[in-house]
Amino acid sequence: MGAFDANDAVRGRVEGFDIERVRLHARGCQRDANTPGRMIAQGGRWELREFDSAELARAAAAGGDHDGEWQSAQPNSVIAHRVRRQPGGAAADPLIVPLVDAINPARWFADLDSLTQWDRSSYGPELPLSRAWIEGRFSAIGLEVSAPAFSMPGSGGGQISVNNVIGRWNGTLLPDEWIIVGAHYDSRNSSLSSTTNTPGAEDNASGCAGVIELARVLVANRPQRSILFMCYAGEEQGLYGSKAHVQALQATGDLAKVQAVVTMDMIGYSADTTLDVLFESSATWSAYLNQFADAASAYVPALRVTLSTNPFGSDHVPYLNAGKKTLLAIENDWDIYPYYHR
């Protein structure tokens, strides 16, 4: 498996810099003239920014609506690297090929389109309508459906109650080994609190429709392990739905049953004719990232894969913080999608 170190392309531009004056900033957050520092390089979902002394104070005080938006830069570290398929690489498993072939893009797109008929702000009156629609889809697949409520801060103060949606498949052989496949179903526009004009086709009806399509294909083959197909609310305001689910698992003692987690966030856009994906986790789970890169090579060889071990700002983070093997799948062009949060 060939790869490039994202630092290689820019090392000459940053040599001699004081590492204390450099920070990693999440691409797509605070994309305006007020973002502190000067961008000197970018890779994966990150940009490297250099600061003068006054700007360092601004960076320290900079807020943001995503966990981990600012991170320290470590010398000789890899921000992201692209995987290049080698001849004779990972072989396709004949038991898996029919599952891949069963994925129906037209059906996925129809579900995406259906979800966009509602303004799905976590603060708005139409979120329960989209939740009921997801529940119906899960029920039709044959899943055990629940919609646990949780509290999150309201846009005008106080607390509000919203719901995650869970479609559960009980494993035929290993019911106490759980896999979680999730995506958030809430959306937003440029205003974090707006309850209108929030169709969220890309962010994140695309991922939610992906969860539903995977449920159809996997359940038809009666998996041995239990699978929780999750659609989270409250992601846009601070990952509240996934945090609530992790807390619920901890409270019941079920967190230990979770073997692996996959999160999909913005999976339907490419800025050019090349399809690409960014797989993201923490360095602890690098082998898990490589498993997905190998799978992409074996089953979707045209897919261009980038790997990153600098996680932030999506529903994989609470599971990573709880010590679970977790991965985010997101399009590599997510931050240049022209209608992102609009």
Residue 99: pLDDT band with limits 50, 70, 90: very high
Q: In terms of C-beta density within 10 A (0-12 exposed, 13-18 middle, 19 or more buried), how is residue 71 classed? A: middle
The mean pLDDT value for 291-301 works out to 94
Q: What is the pLDDT of residue 7?
A: 40
195 pLDDT above the threshold of 90: no
Residue 213 · residue 107 · CB < 8 Å: yes
pLDDT in tens, 8-30: 334 434 455 666 777 777 766 54
CATH 3.40.630.10 location in the chain? 97-336
The mean pLDDT value for 88-100 works out to 88
Q: What is the pLDDT of residue 225?
A: 99
The mean pLDDT value for 113-117 works out to 98
Cα distances (angstroms) measured from residue 184 to each of 90, 198, 226, 314? 31, 14, 20, 9
Q: What is the pLDDT of residue 192?
A: 81
Does CATH place domain 97-336 in 1.10.10.10?
no
Looking at every residue in the chain, the average pLDDT score rounds to 86
273 pLDDT above the threshold of 50: yes
232 pLDDT above the threshold of 70: yes
Q: What is the pLDDT of residue 27?
A: 66
The helices-and-strands tally (H runs, E runs) of the chain is 9, 16
For the record, the structure tokens of 203 come out as 């962010």
Nearest 5°: the CA angle 250, 251, 253 is 60
